[in-house]
Structures are given as C-alpha cells and as structure tokens.
Chain A
Amino acid sequence: AQSVTQPDIHITVSEGASLELRCNYSYGATPYLFWYVQSPGQGLQLLLKYFSGDTLVQGIKGFEAEFKRSQSSFNLRKPSVHWSDAAEYFCAVVPSGNTGKLIFGQGTTLQVKP
C-alpha cells in the first residue's frame, strides 16, 4: 500500500547534539517531499521541500534533508539541536501525478534535554 512512514514516534536528544528524523515512502515514482514542524496547539510550518535536482535540500531554522531514491527515504537532519526545536515533526508527500493532496506520516515528537 502507498504510505509515508516515520519509524520513530518519539525521540529525545541532548541540546547541542545532532539530530536525524527518518521518513520513508512507498510510491512508485518519486513524489514531492516535505517536512513540517508543529509546536503544541499550533498549525504546521514548512521546514523544507524537495521536487527535483540536488538531493540535499536546505530549509529554515538550520534544518536540511537528503533524498535517497534507492532507499525511498527523505531524512531530516540538524547538526546541533536547540531547546526551541522541541516540537512534532511531520514528513509529507504529494505522489507524482496526484491532484496535489498532501499525505502525512504519523509524526515524530522531539524532546530536547538540557
């Protein structure tokens, strides 16, 4: 079945440590790929997106993501986490040829230890 999977429901890292959040998709053709962040009780904010071209994309707040076609993955990374990065992170895809509907993963909650 076509899906977006975020394998880690909850991740805890220490402030200043590096971060990697995983995202895998199961669609035949390369979809459009997105990462969003959500603070508690708020809407979602776009961190970055990938459509084509360079497989390493830079986003806001120091985040980056790498598209790996062979692994059907689009993992989000940050070299040094700040306490303000604690939030819920969603990977999302628009399957190619789709009408533009975003399909979301289940989300990963990031906790940052002082």
Chain B
Amino acid sequence: DGGITQSPKYLFRKEGQNVTLSCEQNLNHDAMYWYRQDPGQGLRLIYYSQIVNDFQKGDIAEGYSVSREKKESFPLTVTSAQKNPTAFYLCASSISGVEVVGYTFGSGTRLTVV
C-alpha cells in the first residue's frame, strides 16, 4: 500500500544537538511538506518542496534545514539553532499542479528536548 512513513515515532534530543527526522513516501507525489504542531496553534509550515533538488522556506524555517535529493525522501534536520524544538512534526505529500487533492500525511514524530 502507498503511504508516507515517518521515523522515528519518538525522538529525544539533548540541547545543542542536531537531529534528523525521516520522511519517505511511495505515492510518487512531486510535492512534500514539513509541518510543526504545537497545542492550540494548529499546524505551521516549516519547509516545502515541489520538485527534486528544490525547496522553499515556510513560515517558521529558522533553525531547520531540509534536503530533497530523491523524489521519495524529504528529511528534516532540527538544528541547535532552533530555540524551542519540542513539538510534534508532521510530513505530508501531494501531487503538484492545478488539481489539488489535498495532502497525505504521515503519522508524525514527537521530538522532545531533554
């Protein structure tokens, strides 16, 4: 079955460390997205990529980095510059173009700074 896989489900990070969250999709979708979810704030866009080797900053990109070397993969690195990284991170994908059918979401990674 096609879908999006996020790993790990839970991640603990010490202050000052970089960590990388994995997102893989086998839906053959062109576009991929990373959102951060905090209680009471909905989902906020971190980065998105509409094609391989290209990506754009979203609304809260500071302290994060991404790469898009393969169509099926869009890893997110939370760097030590991110002041408050504890959150639930969601990856999504969609077909790109005029016909928007909504996103398919992964099951998320909960990151906790210890």
* A positions within 8 Å CB-CB of B: 9, 32, 34, 36, 41-46, 49, 51, 90, 94, 99-107
Contact of B94 among A9, A44, A51, A100 (CB under 8 A): A100
User: Which residues of B pack against A, CB within 8 Å?
Assistant: 4, 6, 31, 33, 35, 40-45, 48, 50, 58, 88, 90, 92, 94, 96-97, 100-108, 110
Task: Apart from A41-B88, A43-B106, A49-B102, list 6 A-B contacts with CB within 8 A.
Answer: A43-B90, A43-B108, A44-B43, A46-B103, A90-B42, A100-B100
B10: nearest residue on chain A (CB-CB)? A41
Known: A44-B90, A99-B50, A100-B50. A105 touches B42 (CB 8 A): yes
Task: Please state if A102 and B103 are interface contacts (CB–CB under 8 Å).
Answer: yes
**16 A–B contacts from the bound complex (CB under 8 Å):** A9-B40, A32-B100, A41-B108, A42-B108, A43-B108, A44-B105, A45-B105, A51-B100, A94-B100, A100-B31, A100-B96, A101-B45, A101-B48, A102-B102, A106-B40, A106-B42
Contact B108 A104 (CB under 8 A): no
| Complex contacts, B96 vs chain A, CB 8 Å | 100
Interface majority SS (helix, strand, loop, mixed), chain B: strand
A101 touches B33 (CB 8 A): yes
Chain B residues with CB below 8 A from A99, complex form: 50
Contacts of A51 in B (CB 8 A): 100
Residues in A with CB closer than 8 Å to B110 are 41
The residues of A that contact B31 with a CB separation of less than 8 Å are 100
Complex interface: chain A residues within 8 A of B44 (CB):
104
- Chain B proximity of A100: nearest CB distance (Å): 6
Closest Cβ of chain A to B96, distance in Å, is 6
Please give me the residue from chain A that is nearest to B105 by CB atom: A43
A105 proximity list for chain B (CB < 8 A): 42
Tell me, rounded to whole Å, the shortest Cβ–Cβ distance linking A96 to chain B: 10
The answer for the CA separation of A51 and B101 in the assembled complex, in Å, is 9
Given the known interface contacts A43-B107, A46-B102, the answer about A101 and B58 at a Cβ–Cβ threshold of 8 Å is yes
